[in-house]
């Protein structure tokens, strides 16, 4: 979804490319950069400890449209940001002889945690007002600090840990919970408690088994998935950026995927733009937010296939009882 601005913006595409990466002055192997996935993987870059990565960026704008449009003093900047560390770095780009805007932006290792987003912003003077946003790149790049393979889409991370272990202070208050979902990072993580329910982690990790074991595994996995979808939805709508008119802008990454998947079920029959605006209004103003929880629960359960898994569990239990009789 693109935000609507009360002034002319670019209709043509803004294309962003990372043309080269250097880690502490040495070229990053080409296998760590995927132009198809638009991902740079910095883990196992050839240096166990590194201080900074320099990304050479090339941005192409719809020049014909710029030449005939009402924009003046057009400037293009690269933006490298990570919400987990509240880091945001910008670098101005220069117009080259081939028509592309080029430049370099530095990723400082101590300022980042997991995965940064590289985007491009085009600003200009419009109607006498300077610094107005007139365009952004169609698809951002991701710079991953913990992955060795440049893959864009990643599943939810599953981490097995003893919540009562003294080395995990923040999990200790939840030591009686079999799992918790954490969504503050660049990728959501499900932490499975290895000591809350004896044998549960081993059961979830196994395959096959008796009918009763399969029932428990399927139903528990669905419940974890429902909790994860619910937590991810709340996280996605709790930190929405807004434009200068207060219109919420669709986030990027997994948050965008979650909202696009769940909003049609949370607010059926609404366009994504209207649904996102309604969600933000209810959350920030307070009215109608509690009534919305039923829709969120339904959407999360549908994504987790709770009904299907429970139906299968009941039928399996019924067949087991009939065979024993």
CB burial of residue 43 (10 Å; 0-12, 13-18, 19+): exposed
| 3-state class (DSSP) for residue 276 | helix
The residue behind tokens 């880091």 is: 87
Question: Strand pairing of 87-92 and 129-136?
Answer: unpaired
Which comes out higher in pLDDT, residue 83 or 125?
125
Mean pLDDT, residues 183-207 taken together: 83
Which comes out higher in pLDDT, residue 8 or 316?
8
Mean pLDDT value across the chain: 86
Residue (of 292, 171, 180) closest to 228 by Cα position: 180
| 3-state class (DSSP) for residue 175 | coil
pLDDT in tens, 225-258: 999 999 999 998 987 888 777 788 888 778 888 8
| 3-state class (DSSP) for residue 119 | strand
Helix axes 293-304, 306-324, angle to 10 degrees: 60
| 3-state class (DSSP) for residue 242 | strand
pLDDT in tens, 262-288: 999 999 988 888 899 999 888 888 788
Mean pLDDT, residues 286-308 taken together: 88
Sequential DSSP letters for 127-170? TTEEEEEEEE-SS-EEEESS-SS--S--PPEEEEE-TT-TT-GG
Sequential DSSP letters for 26-91? EEPPGGGEETTTTEEE-TTSS-SS-SEEEEEEEEE--HHHHHHSS-EEEEEEEEEEETTTTEEEEE
**Dihedral angle over CA of 115, 120, 125, 126, nearest 10:** -100
Backbone angles phi, psi at 187, to 5 degrees: -135, 135
Contact 279, 249 (CB under 8 A): no
Joined tokens for residue 231 = 């937590």
Mean pLDDT, residues 50-55 taken together: 94
pLDDT above 50: residue 1: no
Q: Which residues, listed in sequence order, are joined to residue 90 by a DSSP beta bridge? A: 79
Joined tokens for residue 37 = 């996935």
- DSSP run (H or E) holding 241: strand 241-242
Q: Which residues, listed in sequence order, are joined to residue 104 by a DSSP beta bridge? A: 56
pLDDT above 90: residue 299: yes
pLDDT band at 86 (very low <50, low <70, confident <90, very high): confident
pLDDT in tens, 116-171: 899 999 999 999 999 899 999 878 898 988 777 776 655 677 888 899 886 778 88
């Amino acid at each position: 979804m693109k935000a609507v601005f009360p002034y002319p913006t670019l209709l043509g595409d803004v294309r962003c490319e990372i043309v080269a990466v250097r880690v502490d002055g040495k070229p990053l192997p080409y296998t760590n950069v995927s132009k198809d996935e638009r991902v740079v993987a910095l883990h196992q870059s050839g240096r166990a400890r590194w201080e900074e990565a320099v990304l050479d960026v090339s941005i192409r704008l719809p020049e014909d449209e710029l030449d005939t449009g009402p924009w003046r003093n057009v400037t293009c900047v690269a933006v490298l940001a990570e919400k987990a560390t509240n880091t945001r770095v910008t670098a101005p780009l220069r117009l080259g002889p081939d028509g592309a805007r080029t430049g370099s932006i530095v990723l400082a290792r101590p300022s980042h945690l997991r995965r940064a987003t590289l985007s491009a912003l085009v600003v200009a003077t419009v109607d006498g007002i300077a610094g107005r946003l007139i365009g952004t790149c169609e698809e951002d790049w991701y710079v991953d600090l913990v992955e060795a393979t440049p893959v864009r889409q990643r599943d939810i991370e599953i981490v097995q840990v003893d919540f009562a272990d003294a080395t995990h202070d923040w999990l200790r208050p939840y030591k009686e919970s079999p799992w918790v979902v954490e969504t503050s990072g660049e990728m959501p993580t499900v932490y499975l408690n290895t000591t809350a329910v004896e044998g549960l982690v081993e059961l979830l990790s196994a395959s096959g088994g008796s009918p009763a074991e399969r029932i428990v595994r399927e139903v528990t996995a669905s419940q974890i998935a429902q909790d994860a979808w619910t937590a991810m939805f709340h996280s996605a709508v709790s930190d929405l950026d807004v434009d200068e008119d207060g219109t919420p802008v669709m986030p990027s990454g997994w948050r965008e995927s979650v909202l696009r998947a769940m909003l049609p079920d949370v607010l059926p029959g609404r366009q994504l733009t209207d649904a996102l605006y309604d969600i933000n209004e209810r959350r920030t103003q307070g009215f109608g937010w509690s009534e919305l929880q039923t829709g969120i629960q339904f959407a999360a359960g549908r994504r987790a296939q709770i009904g299907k898994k429970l139906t299968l569990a009941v039928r399996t239990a019924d067949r087991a009882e009939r065979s024993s009789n």
